[in-house]
Amino acid sequence: NDVLSQLVAAIGSGGVEVVDLTQTLSEATPVLVLPPEFGQCAPFSREVISRYDERGVAWYWSNFTVCEHTGTHFDAPVHWVSGKDLPANSVDTIAPADFVASAVVIDCSAEAETDPDFLLDRSHIEAWEAAHGPVPARSWVLFRTDWSKRDVDAYTNRREDGAHTPGPNAEAVRYLIEERDIIGFGVETIGTDAGQAHLLTPPYPAHTLLHGAGRYGLQCLENLDRLPATGTVLVAAPLKIENGSGSPLRVLALVAK
């Protein structure tokens, strides 16, 4: 098939670049912190099994513990109560074709720099569309905030009243689902929702509306500043955890040079 051999040739020649959008997963990877009455997400931890030593003479390997939602990760519809009863709502049952899709990037880095609680509204998307054309159906919308360039304290940006990080409002999410039929919404922050999204209507509009409509989330992305506004192909394939609500994953962007 032409397109497949052309793809491999273009990657080999550099005509298509493979950009890694993934945070390094380590003991230092920041995780979501919820109010103390709720169960908490495990940070990444590991135990070395052997390292070319008496525990394994020629091999190095580790066991590790992690949350389904630690580091760069994928959210499946079953993660949220609104998606609880949908078909194919867990990472092991989603159609594999959904793991390879187009992506657009909406750059709100200037707005998020001056306002950490910046909310993406329908009007911002419409302004983006006036310049770039409509968001294509079955596309990822990637929300660039340059949050991934912050050091860890400014990245989590926690204060007494919780995290202050940007996200979309309900109207923006509804527009992308109902009028643009997006496959999912991807962000640089921890959570597709803003840090203060428990105060919005509905609370957590991205989680509630996306997953209720069978759409996906991607969190803790990097290198969105290396992507064009349109034309990227995103490869985002979560681990096949039985009935999994999400998983850490490697997210790759294929970009024409």
Residues labelled as active-site residues: 79
In the region spanning residues 161 to 200, those forming contacts with a second copy, defined by CB under 8 A, are: none
Among 88, 100, 127, 154, binds a second copy (CB under 8 A): 100
Region binding a second copy by CB under 8 A among candidate stretches 108-116, 117-125, 149-157, 238-246: 238-246
Q: How far is the CB of 219 from ligand 92K (least distance, A)?
A: 6
Residue 23 backbone dihedrals phi, psi, to 5 degrees = -70, 145
241 forms part of the interface with a second copy (CB under 8 A)? yes
Dihedral sign, Cα of residue 189, residue 120, residue 214, residue 19:
negative
In the region spanning residues 59 to 78, those forming contacts with a second copy, defined by CB under 8 A, are: 59-69, 71-72, 78
Q: Return the bridge partners of 159, or none.
A: 162
The entry of ligand 92K, a second copy, none that residue 96 binds, CB within 5 to 8 Å by partner kind? a second copy
Q: Read off the DSSP letter of residue 81.
A: G
40 forms part of the interface with a second copy (CB under 8 A)? yes
87 forms part of the interface with a second copy (CB under 8 A)? no
The whole-angstrom distance between residue 18's C-alpha and the CA centroid of its chain comes to 17
Over the window 12 to 31, marking each residue x when it contacts a second copy by CB under 8 A and - when it does not, the resulting string is: x--xxxxxx-xxxxx-----
Spatial separation of the C-alpha atoms in residues 192 and 181, rounded to whole Å: 17
Q: Return the bridge partners of 101, or none.
A: 234
Closest CA to 102 of 241, 257, 196, 229: 229
133 forms part of the interface with a second copy (CB under 8 A)? no
**Residue 227 to residues 103, 107, 144, 185, 207, Cα–Cα distance (Å):** 9, 10, 10, 15, 25
Where do contacts with ligand 92K occur on this chain (CB under 6 A)? 32, 34, 59, 69, 75, 79, 191, 193, 204, 219
